[in-house]
Structure 1
Amino acid sequence: MLEKSKSFDGFYTEEVRDRSGHRIGFDIVRVRDPERRSSLARLKNLTDARQASEHQVGNYSVFLDNFEVIALPVLDLDTDLLFIDEIGKMELFSKDFKKKVTNIFFGSSKRASVIGTIPQMHKVPRQHAELFEKFHADERIKIVNVSRENRNNLPKEIIRLL
């Protein structure tokens, strides 16, 4: 149960919107220290030449260094509960992130519980399909699909699973 956990941490991605409500990007945010955040991605037309990134997803430039500064140290913490939001296209540009996530789920890591988000299989980049197939095939991993109908009940469902 969550209340028995001694420690938790992780990171999540948060949409960034402009004043008119249009999404302009994403930040990566540390769970235990929400003030510790950095730009994960921004619309290409909002980035100047100094911010140019070789990593692109759709209309977004992905800032891999910013992501790794927040995410990688968190993955090394000895916590009872680890939140990883998300294991997706932008995050998987980081080879170190992919290695650490693979070890957490399938290696020698002794984590009590991990809550992570992953894309639906039809949205998984081909070069990462094997990793996501492993998630789906591993009986220790419980995958809960999110829908409009169940999203408000997910916190209770997750606590029940823990």
Structure 2
Amino acid sequence: MPTRILLEGRPGVGKTTAVRRLASLLQTRAPVGFTTEEIREGTARVGFALETLDGRRAVLAHVAFPGPPRVGRYGVDLRVMEELALSALAPLSRNAAPGDLALVDELGRMELASSAFREAVRDLLTGGVDLVATVQARHDPFTDALKRRPDIELVRVTAQNRDALPRELAARLET
């Protein structure tokens, strides 16, 4: 049975850092996927960038983007989700094999504004792909349904476990 782990935690607790460290620790697996990170101007957060695990990067959301959609004060560029994020996951949607691994950061409001991305996540969960994804703690019909699935392990990321978590996950995924 595939390993499917959702890392849930409050904003800023270290979910993205945990996924990035996990990706760097894996020695026998070559994951596909993406991470996101804040864009800051001084101390002000002005947007979010998406970076694929193979190094492609684009601005996903920014206060200067008009939207739609808008999430809070950010306009979201859905083309980034559909071109970068989906292309990063495409090898698994086309030729997934048992043991393939996807790392997804994150299943949040900006990313889930893309119906094509939601469908790609559903596709990953119907195949034999191992998945580690970060997920928003807030309630959302899509992510709440994922959290209730019997094949999903929900792991809460906290300040106490965030440093050890990447090593623990790497050990589990490489056995």
TM over 0.5: yes
Aligned residues, how many? 143
SS at match of 2:166: helix
Q: Does 1:55 align with 2:69?
A: yes
TM-score, L = length of structure 1 = 0.80
Partner in structure 2 of residue 65 of structure 1: 79
Q: Which amino acid in 1 is paired with 2:166? A: P
**Consecutive unaligned residues in structure 2, runs of 5 or more:** 1-24
1:7-46 paired onto structure 2 within 5 Å: 7-18=30-41, 20-33=42-55, 36-43=56-63
Pick the aligned partner of 1:3 from 27, 36, 49: 27
TM-superposed CA distance for 1:145, in Å, is 0.6
| TM superposition shift of 1:151 | 1.1
Q: Distance in 1 between matches of 2:146 and 2:168?
A: 19
Q: Deviations over 1:75-104 (max 9, x none)?
A: 221372211101110011111111110121
CA distance in 2, matches of 1:52, 1:82: 31
Choose from 102, 113, 136 the match for 1:82: 102
Cα-Cα RMSD: 1.9
Query: Which residue does the alignment assign to 1:158?
Result: 169
TM-aligned CA deviation for residue 67 of structure 1: 2.2
So what's the TM-score if we normalise by structure 2? 0.74
Contact in 2 for aligned 1:38/1:67 (Cα 8 Å)? no
Of structures 1 and 2, the one scoring higher in RCO (CA 8 A, sep 6+) is 2
Which amino acid in structure 2 is aligned with residue 8 of structure 1?
Answer: P
How many angstroms does 1:65 deviate by? 1.0
The answer on 1:139 being equivalent to 2:159 is: no
